[in-house]
Amino acid sequence: MPQHRYLLTEDKIPKRWYNIAADLPTPMPPPLAPDGSPLQPEMMTAIFPMELILQEVSQERWITIPDPVREIYALWRPTPLHRAAGFERALGTDCKIFYKYEGVSPAGSHKPNTSVPQAYYNAQAGVRRLATETGAGQWGSSLALACELFGLECKVYMVRVSYDSKPYRRVMIETWGGECVASPSRETNAGRAILAEHPDSTGSLGIAISEAVEDAATREDTNYALGSVLNHVLLHQTVVGQEAVEQMQMAGAQPDVVVGCVGGGSNFSGLAFPFLAQKFAGADIRVVAAEPASCPSLTRGVYGYDFGDTAGMTPLLPMHSLGHSFVPPSIHSGGLRYHGMAPLVSHLVHTGMVEARAYRQLDCFEQAVAFGRAEGIIPAPEASHAIRGVVDEVERAREEGVSKTILFNLCGHGNFDMSAYQQYLSGEMIDSDFSQDELDHATAELAQMPALPA
Amino acid sequence: MPQHRYLLTEDKIPKRWYNIAADLPTPMPPPLAPDGSPLQPEMMTAIFPMELILQEVSQERWITIPDPVREIYALWRPTPLHRAAGFERALGTDCKIFYKYEGVSPAGSHKPNTSVPQAYYNAQAGVRRLATETGAGQWGSSLALACELFGLECKVYMVRVSYDSKPYRRVMIETWGGECVASPSRETNAGRAILAEHPDSTGSLGIAISEAVEDAATREDTNYALGSVLNHVLLHQTVVGQEAVEQMQMAGAQPDVVVGCVGGGSNFSGLAFPFLAQKFAGADIRVVAAEPASCPSLTRGVYGYDFGDTAGMTPLLPMHSLGHSFVPPSIHSGGLRYHGMAPLVSHLVHTGMVEARAYRQLDCFEQAVAFGRAEGIIPAPEASHAIRGVVDEVERAREEGVSKTILFNLCGHGNFDMSAYQQYLSGEMIDSDFSQDELDHATAELAQMPALPA
């Protein structure tokens, strides 16, 4: 019988996170204060604990994972590496396809890999409460779980349109003891200002971030937590790739291509960074980031300084951006609906270490259904972009007459996304592309920002 | 760091199913034809393939699992055994609590353990299509997945009230290529007869079984598949307990008590039977079946012959029953809403090998939420009955001043049951008990059936 899953025992949960900043062939531009001046650490201490700030700026290659964090990781880690034998057969390819499956976490995705250490460091620092934003709810539920496990309160500002139309992630947050409010809310100045102007606002991730940051900045007992984009978040996700390196060795295989989907960049980085370390050392590995065609920050966005949120409250980050006022269309991959991209991922794409591709929603769902029928697991819509990227690689291999080994991150299951599958199966799913007007708008908006260092 | 999960490698997927019929201390009464005469094998061949009929009546202790079935099991098996360290802390007990977690299957429960071999044997026998019923959809989705993997068509008659109110399991069925219709439907005589009399019928499991059996009996290319109750279904589930026996050895522990929830009896049997084999051989193990107080076939029902369905189309089975015309109230544990009980489980309770307890829905949800907050995994409502049973054992141990080792089957996750959690958390969940009137009705109905052999 061919082997399907490669499992590691609990003692193989990584003991350290891998900090790719230590190995970058060229240095990253620094973040700036909102007014363009150098960013002072004090601007961060109001909303983050010192340990996370130190990780954000660290140049150390390895950062020790605290035992209490590893102990909670052990509830679901190490996660399995699967050989996608059924999907290979369905595609009729002689490429070898492997996937790391992060959907086995209690929240159903990779997000708890960072919510757990973030809650831990905040609890250690004496913080009593965390505030955050969430779109479809993957991140909000993961933070609620982590807060519950470390005895913190958790307040989640959930984008109104998701709060109303997808209530089950909200119930999950509440089941884990978190408090969830629709954003814009009447609980913050930011929320009230929006509601005064737009009483029927359906909200956006940008507005919800503003509310959560304001909550954290104005309450002594509260800090803020972010589920992607920042260096320390991507750092925490590297447990995924470190395990995968070991599991690929168990399988006697070495990936020619590593693929992940990108929104803010965290699941992609988690798998890819440990393999990029091999690439920096000379290994022949291609790394591909797959993003939605309707929110294509890497393939169509501008590389420059931009705000992380819509209201311009965050530092300026060096990243590929569609402009901080860009509101992505309501595709089902809520986790990929972000105007910017993690600075680390942007830098790696800018320097040619990572390739980026954009895929349309309908094409992604077509492959997600094919994958679910062949492998059993119904993928999260976000992960379907990675699957579409894999199929692309399989097609290229066929054209080139070669066989490749392809590894991708199946970052979550689709149990909370069945309404999206219903739309797809009934032929009612619509698609949208990024327009020239939107590109012009992004270009104009980024042109007003400080320039990147040469 | 204390160990949390005990994992087995793929080669440890059991190679044989354990057939408890070979080891029963006293023989089981035989099933009868609907008219009370001896059941002829030909009555079964219209809707089941010969291999499953042979398994249904087999007295062999071990039955080999075909390689193609083990290969599909390998998509998620062996499943993990967890030490519930967090839940132990939350309960403040020095009892050791372990759980086998079946929610890692693609469908999210133990059901694919039998849907896969059932689809396999039907495909081997040249059957092209399977028909079945489903309540909340756990079984229907599991069979759709198995049919897709073996190239069979799948038709699911889904109880109308679930079809309308819980559409996501239906979408899952369709994503895996199955066809799902609300029952009663206009596609069968049974369905049309009900609709003629009750045009607004919300359906019942009994009606849906009648439709699926009629579909299978009247179409040459179609067989019927059942997700619980029958001997061969329970047989297939014994992979759960066989793995758990080995994993408890890895943990250096031996259970004093084994607990599972019961509706038709399949997840309970899957875990319990291999431990009952130890009990038959003299081991000091108690085995507890936990059922809903509102559908208490084992604790309040009558032990006798009854039909497996409402319309009286199935053979008469020797079992604990609340009467085949009993319609259980709409508790959220759709998988436990069955008027009868597997004959094997009934026999084991009747002969004192298994204890039965009934728990109220609100008490079960209280413990499900506590478990979810301590262990991360949000349990299926069905499984919450097992958790309530565990808490009961912990309380008894405290009273007795002893420490016990308790093992239970966490047979599924609650990702598709968040509306139930919403009801519980908002204080809107109601409870109901089995009434004296209902008991009188059951007693009268069973009194008209053939008597069990003395």
> Which pLDDT score, from 0 to 100, does residue B161 have?
84
Mean pLDDT (whole number) for A232-247:
98
Other beta carbons within 10 Å of B66: 13
Other beta carbons within 10 Å of A260: 32
Contacts of A104 in chain B (CB under 8 A): 104
Q: Which residues are bridge partners to A354 per DSSP?
A: none
Q: How far apart are CA A265 and CA B446, in angstroms?
A: 63
pLDDT tens-digit profile, chain B (454 residues): 678 999 999 999 999 999 999 999 999 999 999 889 989 878 889 899 999 999 999 999 999 999 999 999 999 999 999 999 999 999 999 999 999 999 999 999 999 999 999 999 999 999 999 999 998 899 999 999 999 999 999 999 999 988 988 889 999 999 999 999 999 999 999 999 989 999 998 888 888 998 999 999 999 999 999 999 999 999 999 999 999 999 999 999 999 999 999 999 999 999 999 999 999 999 999 999 999 999 999 999 999 999 998 888 889 999 999 999 888 887 788 788 889 999 999 999 999 999 999 999 999 999 999 999 999 999 999 999 999 999 999 999 999 999 999 999 999 999 999 999 999 999 999 888 899 999 999 999 999 999 998 7
Residue A145 lies in a domain: no
Tell me if B425 and A167 make a contact (CB, 8 A cut-off): no
Q: Note down the domain range covering A99.
A: 67-108+232-448
Q: How far apart are CA B299 and CA B355, in angstroms?
A: 9
Residue B61 in 3-state DSSP?
coil
Q: Which residues are bridge partners to A224 per DSSP?
A: A131
Q: How far apart are CA A212 and CA A137, in angstroms?
A: 14
Among the listed residues A363, A357, A408, the one whose alpha carbon sits nearest the alpha carbon of residue A381: A363
Task: Provide the pLDDT confidence category of residue A112 given band limits of 50, 70 and 90.
Answer: very high
- Per-residue CA distances from B399 to B88, B93, B259, B363, B370 (Å): 16, 11, 19, 20, 21
- Tell me, rounded to whole angstroms, the distance of Cα B280 from its chain centroid: 23
Q: How far apart are CA A161 and CA A337, in angstroms?
A: 13
- Per-residue CA distances from B15 to A335, B250, B270, B325 (Å): 41, 19, 15, 40
Q: How far apart are CA A142 and CA A146, in angstroms?
A: 6
Strand bridging mode A286-292 / A355-359: parallel
Residue B257 lies in a domain: yes
Task: Provide the pLDDT confidence category of residue A327 given band limits of 50, 70 and 90.
Answer: confident
Residue A329 lies in a domain: yes
Q: How far apart are CA B120 and CA B118, in angstroms?
A: 5
Tell me if B74 and A4 make a contact (CB, 8 A cut-off): yes
The total of structural domains in chain B comes to 1
Q: Could you tell me which chain A residue has the CA closest to the CA of B82?
A: A75
Tell me if A171 and B104 make a contact (CB, 8 A cut-off): no
**Peptide bond just before B49 cis, omega within 30 deg:** no
Q: How far apart are CA A12 and CA A212, in angstroms?
A: 36
For chains A and B, count residue pairs whose Cβ atoms are closer than 8 Å. 127
Q: Which residues are bridge partners to A180 per DSSP?
A: A156
> Which pLDDT score, from 0 to 100, does residue B1 have?
66
Contact A156, A181 (CB under 8 A): yes
Contacts of B373 in chain A (CB under 8 A): 148, 175-177
> Which pLDDT score, from 0 to 100, does residue B166 have?
82
Contacts of A177 in chain B (CB under 8 A): 373
For residue A421, pLDDT beyond 70:
yes
Give the contacts of A228 (CB within 8 A, at least 6 positions apart).
Answer: A139, A234, A263, A264, A265, A266, A338, A342
Q: How far apart are CA B87 and CA B101, in angstroms?
A: 15
Q: Which helix (H) or strand (E) holds A445?
A: helix A436-447
Contact A254, A286 (CB under 8 A): no
Q: How far is B5 from chain A (nearest CA, A)?
A: 7
**Which pLDDT tens digit goes with each residue over A150-183?**
999 999 999 998 898 888 999 999 999 999 999 9
- Looking up residue B383, the CATH number of its domain turns out to be 3.40.50.1100
Residue A304 lies in a domain: yes
Q: How far apart are CA B137 and CA B380, in angstroms?
A: 13
ipTM confidence: 0.94
Most distant CA atoms of chain B, gap in Å = 64
Tell me if A373 and B176 make a contact (CB, 8 A cut-off): yes
Q: How far apart are CA A138 and CA B98, in angstroms?
A: 28
Among the listed residues A185, A181, A107, A109, the one whose alpha carbon sits nearest the alpha carbon of residue A144: A107
> Which pLDDT score, from 0 to 100, does residue B95 have?
98
Q: How far is B124 from chain A (nearest CA, A)?
A: 19
Contact A49, A92 (CB under 8 A): no
Q: What percent of chain A has pLDDT over 90?
A: 86
**Distance in angstroms between the alpha carbons of the first and the last residue of chain B:** 56
For B418, the closest of A106, A149, A172 (CB atoms) is A172
Contact A385, A77 (CB under 8 A): no
Contact B222, B127 (CB under 8 A): yes
Residue A117 lies in a domain: no
Other beta carbons within 10 Å of A395: 13
Contacts of A419 in chain B (CB under 8 A): 168, 171
Q: What sign results for the dihedral spanned by CA atoms A356, A357, A361, A365?
A: negative
For B376, the closest of A145, A376, A378 (CB atoms) is A145
- Please give the angle made by the CA atoms of B294, B298 and B304, to the nearest 5 degrees: 120
Q: How far apart are CA A60 and CA B183, in angstroms?
A: 62
Q: How far apart are CA B108 and CA A367, in angstroms?
A: 21
> What are the backbone angles phi and psi of residue A250, rounded to the nearest 5°?
-55, -40
Q: How far is B319 from chain A (nearest CA, A)?
A: 35
> Which pLDDT score, from 0 to 100, does residue A328 have?
83
For residue A21, pLDDT beyond 90:
yes
> Which pLDDT score, from 0 to 100, does residue B309 have?
87
> Which pLDDT score, from 0 to 100, does residue A2 have?
72
Residue A297 lies in a domain: yes
Q: Which of A417-421, A429-433, B330-334 has the lowest mean pLDDT?
A: B330-334
Among the listed residues A418, A230, A143, the one whose alpha carbon sits nearest the alpha carbon of residue B173: A418
For residue A1, pLDDT beyond 70:
no
Q: Could you tell me which chain B residue has the CA closest to the CA of A144?
A: B373
* Buried b / exposed e along A222-233 (16+ C-beta atoms within 10 A): bbbbbbbbbbbb
**Chosen from B12, B72, B75 to mutate, greatest number of chain A CBs within 10 A:** B75
For B422, the closest of A145, A171, A425 (CB atoms) is A171
What's the helix, strand, coil split of chain A in %, to 5? 45, 15, 40
Residue A399 lies in a domain: yes
Among the listed residues B105, B364, B58, the one whose alpha carbon sits nearest the alpha carbon of residue B234: B58
Residue A5 lies in a domain: no
Strand bridging mode A5-6 / A81-83: antiparallel
**Chosen from B69, B369, B378 to mutate, greatest number of chain A CBs within 10 A:** B378
For residue A423, pLDDT beyond 90:
yes
What DSSP string runs through A248-268?
HHHTT---SEEEEE-SSSHHH
Tell me if A106 and B376 make a contact (CB, 8 A cut-off): yes
Among the listed residues B19, B45, B12, B88, the one whose alpha carbon sits nearest the alpha carbon of residue B408: B88
Contact B412, B109 (CB under 8 A): yes
Q: What ranges in A283-380 are assigned the alpha helix state H?
A: 297-300, 343-350, 361-375
Give the contacts of B313 (CB within 8 A, at least 6 positions apart).
Answer: B34, B209, B210, B213, B214, B307
Q: How far apart are CA A357 and CA B156, in angstroms?
A: 40
